[in-house]
Each structure stands twice: as structure tokens, then as C-alpha cells.
């Protein structure tokens, strides 16, 4: 009888071990999915985009299970600090302010801010033309920072990019200031809008990691290098940015 129960326990422990081993550790990636073509919700209600593919490849290299966590952009850095996500892959620009709170991977994309207005607006081509105007931006972004520098402008801040564009589309704002690739994407899908300015900032996107998590940062950088060297990066670039060139 004793032998039998010992055996049963052994079998049970073994079974637990096997199933336990099959379970991969999660890589929790925070993003804000109204930032097409980097991250957005498709018609099948899945979160997809360049950043999501990139995160998928990184998770593969780290032998982890990717879990996307969708939230407002200004919640991403606090979520990293509070250990609610491991990374933010969200078209996030490296800047000194953010570097106080998180570390960044090697940059993976060059971007810039542009001004978007209604197609019928012929008075705006530079930032100076927005003085005293209403500008819709996304809360906590470099676009919001740029708008804050414009004299006498009224800022309307939104958690999600699409809300800022709807404000412009509905005539409740004169302009949106936003990253160029995302502007291109929105004006293709929301009719009646246009890009009014030249790109006017120089920004680099990188992946944000918790300050204390230097092992993960190293792993992510190694994965990024491999993804670039293998040609995978170019493949993803062509997949998501081809029609914008």
C-alpha cells in the first residue's frame, strides 16, 4: 500500500514537471494600438503591426510567449516601472525625460513629427502658422511636446491617437501633430485630411525596459541585432511600409 502511494505521488510529480516544462515564460509587451502601421486593431479584432511583428520575433529569440497589453500611451512607462509589463514596443521616441525613468534598446526606426490639417486648410505649412490655434495631440507624446512649444496654442490631449484625429476631422481642432508614418496612414483611411508641413523633428524609436532589468535589455538588443542581420527586419519593413514610399 505504501509502495503504491509512493508510486502515485512520483507519477503525479512527474506529470506536473512535464506540463510545467511545456509552459513558456511570458514576455509582456505594452503598446497603444491606435498607432498604425506600428500597432493597431485589424478587422478581426487582433492587434497587429510592425512593432507587433518585431515583438513577436524578439519573443521567439528569447524563447518566451508574447503577451500584448494594450493601454494609453502615457500609461506605458508607469506600467514598466510597476512591473506590469516587461517592455514597451510602441513607436516610442527616445528622449532625455524618458531616460530618467526607463532604459531604451538600440533604436530601430527613425521618425519625425508632422502637422496634419483638413484638406481645405491652406493657411498652415509651418509650426508658426499654428500660433493661437487648437491642436489635438496624444497625451504624453513627443507630438504633444512639440505642440506645447507653439505660442498661444490651445492643446487638446487624448489618450489614443484616433481620438485626436477625430477631433480634427470633426472640426473641433485645427491640426494634429503626430509622427509622420502614422500621419500617412491616417490620411489614407480618414478622408479630407492632409499633411501640411515638412517633417520637423528628428526622433528614434526604441524599446523601453525597466531600469533595473539590464539582463532583459541585453537580450533584447542581441535579438534586435540578429533580426536586423538576418534580413528579418527588412522583410517586416517591406511588409508594413512599402505603400508609403
DSSP for 206-232, please give it: --EEETT-HHHHHHHHHHHHHHHHTTH
Q: Which is nearer to ligand GLN, 138 or 185 (CB)?
A: 138
Is 32 among the residues that bind ligand GLN (CB under 6 A)? yes
- Phi and psi at residue 128, in whole multiples of 5°? -60, -35
Is 139 among the residues that bind ligand GLN (CB under 6 A)? no
187-226: which residues touch ligand GLN (CB under 6 A)? none
Cα 15–chain centre separation: 40
The region of 19-27, 122-130, 136-144, 151-159 touching ligand GLN under the rule CB under 6 A is 136-144
Q: Which is nearer to ligand GLN, 58 or 207 (CB)?
A: 207
CA distance 230 to 226: 6
For residue 40, the minimal CB distance to ligand GLN (Å) is 11
Q: Which is nearer to ligand GLN, 105 or 141 (CB)?
A: 141
Out of 59, 68, 79, 93, the residue judged to bind ligand GLN by CB under 6 A? 93
Is 179 among the residues that bind ligand GLN (CB under 6 A)? yes
Q: Which is nearer to ligand GLN, 74 or 226 (CB)?
A: 74
Question: What is the binding site for ligand GLN (CB under 6 A)?
Answer: 32, 35, 73, 90-93, 138, 141-142, 161, 179
Amino acid at each position: 500500500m505504501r509502495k503504491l502511494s509512493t508510486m502515485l505521488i512520483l507519477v503525479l510529480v512527474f506529470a506536473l514537471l512535464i506540463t510545467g516544462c511545456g509552459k513558456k515564460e511570458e514576455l509582456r509587451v505594452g503598446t497603444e494600438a491606435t498607432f498604425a502601421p506600428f500597432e493597431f486593431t485589424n478587422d478581426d479584432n487582433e492587434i497587429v503591426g510592425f512593432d507587433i511583428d518585431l515583438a513577436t520575433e524578439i519573443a521567439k529569440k528569447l524563447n518566451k510567449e508574447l503577451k500584448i497589453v494594450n493601454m494609453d500611451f502615457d500609461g506605458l512607462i508607469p506600467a514598466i516601472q510597476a512591473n506590469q509589463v516587461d517592455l514597451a514596443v510602441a513607436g516610442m521616441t527616445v528622449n532625455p525625460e524618458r531616460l530618467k525613468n526607463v532604459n531604451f534598446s538600440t533604436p530601430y526606426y527613425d521618425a519625425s513629427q508632422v502637422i496634419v490639417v483638413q484638406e481645405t486648410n491652406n493657411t498652415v505649412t509651418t509650426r508658426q502658422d499654428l500660433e493661437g490655434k487648437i491642436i489635438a495631440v496624444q497625451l504624453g507624446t513627443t507630438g504633444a511636446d512639440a505642440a506645447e512649444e507653439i505660442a498661444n496654442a490651445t492643446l487638446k490631449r487624448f489618450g489614443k491617437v484616433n481620438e485626436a484625429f477625430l477631433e480634427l476631422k470633426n472640426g473641433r481642432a485645427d491640426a494634429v501633430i503626430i509622427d509622420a508614418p502614422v500621419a500617412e496612414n491616417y490620411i489614407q483611411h480618414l478622408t479630407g485630411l492632409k499633411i501640411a508641413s515638412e517633417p520637423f523633428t528628428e526622433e528614434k524609436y526604441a524599446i523601453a525596459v525597466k531600469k533595473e532589468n539590464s539582463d532583459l535589455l541585453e537580450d533584447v538588443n542581441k535579438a534586435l541585432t540578429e533580426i536586423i542581420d538576418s534580413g528579418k527586419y527588412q522583410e517586416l519593413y517591406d511588409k508594413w511600409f512599402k505603400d508609403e514610399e
